[in-house]
Amino acid sequence: MIGCGGLWRRVFMMSSGATELNTFYPIRPECQNDVPVTRFKPRAGKTLSARRWHASFSADGRLNIAKVLRRIQRGGVHPSIKGVVWEFLLGCYDPNSTFDERNELKQRRRGQYDMWKAECQKMVPVIGSGKFITTPLIGDDSKPIDPSLVGVPTSDNKVLQWLQVLHQIGLDVVRTDRALAFYETEANQAKLWDVLAVFAWLNSDIGYVQGMNDICSPLIILIENEADCFWCFERAMRRLRENFRCSASSMGVQSQLSTLSQIMKTVDPKLHQHLEDLDGGEYLFAFRMLMVLFRREFSFADTLYLWELMWGMEYNPNIFSKYEEPDRTKAKESSSAINDKMLKQYGKFERKNVKTGNTQESYSLAIFLVASVLEIKNRRILNEAKGVDDVVQILGDITSNLDAKKACTEALKIQKKYLSKAKKA
């Protein structure tokens, strides 16, 4: 039996969910009517709370990840602990490490980031100043416009490419999550710019591509220390890197769109054929959903909820060692049998892949999520869509109307159906 105090706390938590979220992610007053309605509310007994999170660690700091994943997949993560939980979900830390081991790793990474940032700052002094730029540093003749760049080796193609993109990062920063009060201050915008600038410098093969700002922004808000935020973003980009690898002849998400086409052809051939008849068989209308993980389709708070559901369901206990020691991890995974106890440390989506032997990383949960959205809108698309523009409009109606948990549950069903049919084929 629940006592009066416990009952009141439970009722209060459920009824004040929206108010609580507004406290963590306040909206600028003038933007209140322009943002999508938030559906997610922290729920007692389902959402991973700070109390349950702290209780999931052993005395020396080892995390019971199976216990945490069960809670996340039921009701997400409470806003007060999202940042620290995400660091584990994204593979920044090994759940089997101790407090001391993680602290040592954190300090080492912070020192590494400070060194990289200082390297960038030496070329562009505004980095780390609490300000950022929105005007070009390099002219059409590939020569510096800004006098502070005199002496910077612009003949080096890596340096030139990086300098040319810094103002574009700044322009995107100005447009990022403008409705949130957090970005009213230039210092917070500059923090986002700094992280993206350093990332672009270190990853010259992809540099900076519009949309990375949408992935990085929530991390800037959730994680106070800039270096910790950078490493979390770096881990997120390990998953999404290929989405942003573009060339003159192809776009990064093209392979995912091809996979989506294959999945839909298998699980719903009638809808797939209808889309092909409308010249939508390449699924280009799903480009944005996959590129920035549904940032435009959900409110800010609902996006965070969706992401942690996805990352919880996709979680692989080897993710940390895979990033830190890829060759060793690959050999270990191929040689070791996985028992039932070990399987509980995998998220629902990844567990199904492990059980069926599906090791193709291109089959991400995000693709099955898009498939679930198409299935939810199946009847309308078949009956009303006379062209690709109609499909885009029908899918556009999901903004504020799609339940993240329901979409993920549907995605898991589609994954099961697809793997079953693919196996028979």
Q: What are 122's two structure tokens?
A: 């030496």
Q: Residue 63: beta bridge partners?
A: 57
d(CA 136, CA 145): 7
d(CA 365, CA 215): 17
Give pLDDT, residue 418.
93
Give pLDDT, residue 149.
82
Give pLDDT, residue 398.
81
Quick one: which of 89, 100, 91, 109 has its CA closest to 58?
A: 100
- Tens of pLDDT, residues 120-153: 999 999 999 999 999 999 998 888 888 888 678 8
Give pTM, 2 decimals: 0.91
Which alpha helices (H) appear in 45-185, and where do they start and end?
50-55, 65-75, 82-89, 99-123, 157-175
pLDDT along the chain (425 residues), means of 10: 39 47 88 86 92 98 97 96 98 97 98 98 96 94 83 89 96 96 97 98 95 97 98 95 76 87 96 94 91 90 95 95 76 62 92 82 88 94 95 85 89 93 79
Give pLDDT, residue 11.
36
d(CA 351, CA 340): 10
Give pLDDT, residue 250.
65
Contact between 180 and 24 under an 8 Å Cβ cutoff? The reply is no
Give pLDDT, residue 365.
95
